[in-house]
Structure 1
Amino acid sequence: MLTCRKVYADIPFAHRQHRHSGHCAHIHGHSWSLSLTFACKELDRHGFVVDFGGLGFIREWIDQYLDHACVVGADDPELSWLKSKNGSVFKLFVIENASAEGIARHLHAQLDPLVRAKTEGRGWIAEIELHEDSRNSVRFVP
């Protein structure tokens, strides 16, 4: 297996962890960084795991769903109110779990099928590392 890594840095978005007993229960933001490790068993015709120049669809996905968004959990007790403010106060993005761990897992579930389709099944996402900031990160390895 061969791997390569692409980093998407300085992605501004907020999240809320409503179950947390501290300040993380409030909507708060970070400048996130996303590191994707791609893998394959066979290189493409150019000798690449993935062609970094052909990954614009990932940046488009990030821009559409995460850039300046507010990520909340599907079971957030304030979800109805949050949805009522979507588009006027913030760009809402609802996922199963809005922790960094949950976001990393969600990113894999969304992006891995896109990578597999783009590479015609030859490549996949082997690991996601998501940084909230320079001190805190999570790794998701499926």
Structure 2
Amino acid sequence: MITCKKSYRDIPFAHRQHLHDGHCAFIHGHNWTITLTFACEALDTNGFVVDFGKLGYIKKWIAKHLDHACLFNENDPEREKLLKNYGNLFQAYVLPNCSCEGIAQHLYEVFNPMVQEATNGRAWITSVEVEEDSKNSAKYSAGE
């Protein structure tokens, strides 16, 4: 198996950890970095695991769903009220867990099928690392 990595940096979005007993319970934002590790057994005809220049579909997905968005846990009791009363002020993205760890796992579940489809199953994602303001990070690895 051979791997390569691609990072998407300085993606501004906010989140809220509604169960946290401190300041993370408030909506707050970070600049995020998402690093994807790709793998394959056989390189393509160019000698690539993936062609970095042809990953525009991932960049577009990030721009559409995360850039300047506010992420909410699907079980956040304030989410519906916020969206009903203020939903025109921000773009919301709802996922099971919007912690750094939850975002990493969710992005793996979103991006891995996209990569497999784009490469006809030749390449896949082995891990997704999410960095919060380059100070904190979490990594989700498939099968570990």
**Residue in 1 aligned with 2:34?**
34
Q: Distance in 2 between matches of 1:19 and 1:119?
A: 39
**Residue in 2 aligned with 1:126?**
126
One-letter amino acid matched to 1:125: I
Cα root mean square deviation, aligned: 0.6
Deviation at 1:134, TM superposition (A): 1.8
1:108 maps onto 2:108 in alignment: yes
**Residue in 2 aligned with 1:90?**
90
**Residue in 2 aligned with 1:77?**
77
Q: Distance in 2 between matches of 1:124 and 1:101?
A: 20
TM-score by length of 2: 0.96
1:60 maps onto 2:60 in alignment: yes
Q: Distance in 1 between matches of 2:73 and 2:82?
A: 11
Identical pairs, percent:
53
Deviation at 1:39, TM superposition (A): 0.3
Q: Distance in 1 between matches of 2:124 and 2:49?
A: 9
CA deviation profile, 1:72-123 (whole Å, cap 9, x unmatched): 000001021122122x111000000111111111101111000000000000
Q: Distance in 1 between matches of 2:82 and 2:137?
A: 26
Structure 1: runs of 5 or more not aligned:
none
Structure 2: runs of 5 or more not aligned:
none
